[in-house]
Amino acid sequence: MPRGPAAHDETARRLATIWRIEGARIVASLAAMTSDVALAEDVAQEACLEALQAWSREGVPQNPGAWLTTVAKRRAIDSWRRRDALGDRYASLAAELRESDDDDIETIGDEVVRLLFVACHPVLPIDAQCALALKLVDGLSSEQIARLFLVPVATMQQRIVRAKRALLAAAVPFDVPDPHEWRERVAGVLRVIYLIFTEGYVASSGERWMHRELAYEAVRLGRRLAVMLPREPEVHGLLALMELQSSRFAARVAADGSPVLLDDQDRRRWDHAAIARGRSALRRVDALGRGRGAYALQAAIAEQHAIASSVDTTDWSSIVVLYEVLGRVAPSPIVELNRAVAVSMAEGPATALRIVDSLHRAGALATSHLLPSVRAELLARLGRNEEAREEFNRALATVANDAQRSVPLRKARSLARSERVDGGRW
């Protein structure tokens, strides 16, 4: 095995991969043991630092998740020893360390769901619930979470710290609450699962456009929640949305890793089994007879794309109506921007540009690449190429995902070439 910096770098890469797969379950197991999510996260990170050194020397163990869990538990016990809080609790936990590594990993599968319900305790505001859960369950950095919420990184860091302290102060038990308490927490749990899926569907930063493993974990959590809450329409609505959106995964990335937008996707590569599951979940929402909420409305929009044979044959008028209803149920600049895109297809780019310009004047989505990207597309369709190129360049300045940068970059260059060819017109 190589030694020195090369071994350290290779171990760091492997550790990062292992943490993406096992991290949530490790933290969940530690939180169950310590009843302190902040301590659980701290000792898990200490175990990762120890792994980086030990594995660089000795190689990655056969069961790295169990290795990390065991080391982190020892760190937790050391922490309690330093606080003079051993007693019977220390004795029982020390005995637990003698259990097999395999048993340790096998018993924590459901604890990710438990961790979601703990993080989404009503003692926290819903934004704090989601931020903490994304940090613990998804392992996202404060920078990534801040981008998802469109807030400064410092604001997000403070929100997460305050959330951990609040849970500790409230002595929140690490367990799924009684069924009569589920309803007050389900909104936060659903939003977290949705944000995990969103980060998997389009990564907020890094080199890859998608993290499929994250998105599929969100789908798995959605399915588990649908079993727990079979009569909650929005649980099935979110599951429908994720199934329908994930059906496009195989067609969304080119061989070189670059994004393939909806217009250019080979729909023969869409997963029709996932489409069928999504449509079935949406029918379950309607069968419950309590109307469609925000997730179900988004699923209905995704369904229109899923059943169309091409962009041109898509029922854009129905999509516009669905976005209008969604804007009343859950108003947001993102919903309005997406409505503008649908309007551009149903009625033309000029009408849609007025909607986008209104958002721009209001200062909406000022830190996001989405608004200048859509505005650029509309300007290009109206033949206003120089303005469009400027908007694509504005989008480039705010895109944190390397793969996604290729889209506005390619389009800006294409418009520049067009201006050179047709220089007499511009």
Alpha-carbon distance of 154 to 145, in angstroms, equals 11
Residue identified by tokens 């994930």 is: 246
Q: Is pLDDT above 90 for 235?
A: yes
Q: What is the pTM of this model?
A: 0.72
Q: Is pLDDT above 60 for 418?
A: no
**Least confidently predicted of 90-104, 146-160, 236-250, 306-320:** 90-104
Local confidence band at 363 (pLDDT 50, 70, 90 cut-offs): very high
Q: What is the number of residues in the chain?
A: 426
Helix-then-strand count for the chain, H and E: 20, 0
Which is more confident, 115 or 304? 304
Instruction: Evaluate whether 236 touches 282 at the Cβ level (below 8 Å).
Output: yes
**Least confidently predicted of 234-243, 365-374, 417-426:** 417-426
Which is more confident, 91 or 54? 54
pLDDT, mean of residues 162-172: 84
Q: How many CB atoms lie within 10 A of CB 20?
A: 15
Local confidence band at 407 (pLDDT 50, 70, 90 cut-offs): confident
pLDDT, mean of residues 4-21: 77
Q: Is pLDDT above 70 for 289?
A: yes
CA distances to 123, 161, 163 from 169, rounded to whole Å, are: 10, 12, 10
CA-wise closest residue to 139 among 195, 207, 56, 97: 195
Alpha-carbon distance of 205 to 403, in angstroms, equals 9
Instruction: Evaluate whether 421 touches 413 at the Cβ level (below 8 Å).
Output: no
Instruction: Evaluate whether 116 touches 221 at the Cβ level (below 8 Å).
Output: yes
CA distances to 5, 72, 222, 239, 396 from 272, rounded to whole Å, are: 46, 43, 19, 16, 34
Q: Is pLDDT above 90 for 175?
A: no
CA-wise closest residue to 341 among 419, 261, 248, 282: 261
Q: For 332, phi and psi rounded to 5 degrees?
A: -165, 155
What pLDDT score does 359 carry?
96
Q: What is the pLDDT of residues 276-287, one digit of tens each?
A: 999 999 999 999
What pLDDT score does 35 carry?
67
Q: How many CB atoms lie within 10 A of CB 164?
A: 22
Q: Which are the contacts of 399, defined by CB distance < 8 A and separation ≥ 6? A: 369, 405, 408
Q: What is the pLDDT of residues 28-55, one digit of tens each?
A: 778 777 767 777 778 888 888 888 888 8
What pLDDT score does 411 carry?
80
Which is more confident, 22 or 196? 196
What pLDDT score does 296 carry?
98
Q: How many CB atoms lie within 10 A of CB 82?
A: 9
Which is more confident, 375 or 200? 375
CA-wise closest residue to 136 among 29, 204, 19, 41: 41
Alpha-carbon distance of 42 to 161, in angstroms, equals 12
Q: Which amino acid is at 366?
A: A
Instruction: Evaluate whether 271 touches 246 at the Cβ level (below 8 Å).
Output: yes
pLDDT, mean of residues 171-179: 72
Q: For 264, phi and psi rounded to 5 degrees?
A: -105, 0
What pLDDT score does 34 carry?
74
Q: Which are the contacts of 327, defined by CB distance < 8 A and separation ≥ 6? A: 335, 336, 339
For the chain, state the CA radius of gyration: 24
Q: Is pLDDT above 70 for 396?
A: yes
User: Among 43-52, 94-103, 311-320, 359-368, which range has the highest average pLDDT?
Assistant: 311-320
Local confidence band at 102 (pLDDT 50, 70, 90 cut-offs): very low
Which is more confident, 133 or 182? 133
pLDDT, mean of residues 260-264: 90
SS3 of 81, please?
helix
pLDDT, mean of residues 79-92: 54
Which is more confident, 266 or 102? 266
Q: Is pLDDT above 50 for 8?
A: yes
Residue identified by tokens 């020195």 is: 4
Structure tokens at 182: 């589920």
Exposed/middle/buried for residue 400 (C-beta within 10 Å: 0-12, 13-18, 19+):
middle
Alpha-carbon distance of 279 to 288, in angstroms, equals 15
Instruction: Evaluate whether 153 touches 23 at the Cβ level (below 8 Å).
Output: no
* Biggest CA-to-CA distance, the chain: 85
Instruction: Evaluate whether 343 touches 351 at the Cβ level (below 8 Å).
Output: yes
Q: Which are the contacts of 67, defined by CB distance < 8 A and separation ≥ 6? A: 51, 61, 101
The whole-angstrom distance between residue 393's C-alpha and the CA centroid of its chain comes to: 26
Local confidence band at 420 (pLDDT 50, 70, 90 cut-offs): very low
Q: Is pLDDT above 90 for 383?
A: yes
**Least confidently predicted of 104-118, 164-178, 195-209:** 104-118
Local confidence band at 342 (pLDDT 50, 70, 90 cut-offs): very high
pLDDT, mean of residues 126-144: 81
